[in-house]
Amino acid sequence: METGWNHFDERGSAVMVDVSGKAPACRTAVAGGKIRMHADVLRAVEDGTAAKGDVLGVARIAGIMGAKQTAHLIPLCHPLGLDSCTVDFAVHREQSCIEALCTVRVNGRTGVEMEALTGVTLALLTIYDMCKAIDKAMELYDIRLIRKEGGKSGVFVNEKAGQP
């Protein structure tokens, strides 16, 4: 585990990390998260019969848009021209939840973990927004970085996250 904090200068002031000396590399990050909801709401989302329409289709677009806007949302994040971003969903009826996975790729000087985490969170928030009229008790949970690769630190697999 890294012990240094590289978002602070020698005076303790917050700074954007200087990545100008790094060589571009292919970098990938996968983040996941879940939203638990009432079984009736889950069925409506899965069947495409929710009152607001194609919930997962809209959530997919929101997740991709969120990943692309990460530098506008997270202070000190580098703006990145993403090469690829996907958001996929799995319905788990037995847990009455939907799992979202966001995979982001870039050929760049810094990683895309924040973009993947932002993408998955925005996708889940969109599901909440589109279904809140019938289930305000939905809960987002288990949002985590699952895997990253590329760059100086190589491959990281979050053993605590489990595999999707």
| Active-site residue list | 129
Q: How far apart are CA 120 and CA 137, in angstroms?
A: 19
Dihedral pair phi/psi, residue 80, rounded to 5°: -125, 140
* Residues with Cβ within 8 Å of residue 76, at least 6 apart in sequence: 7, 14, 15, 16, 17
| Residue 126: both structure tokens together | 């969109």
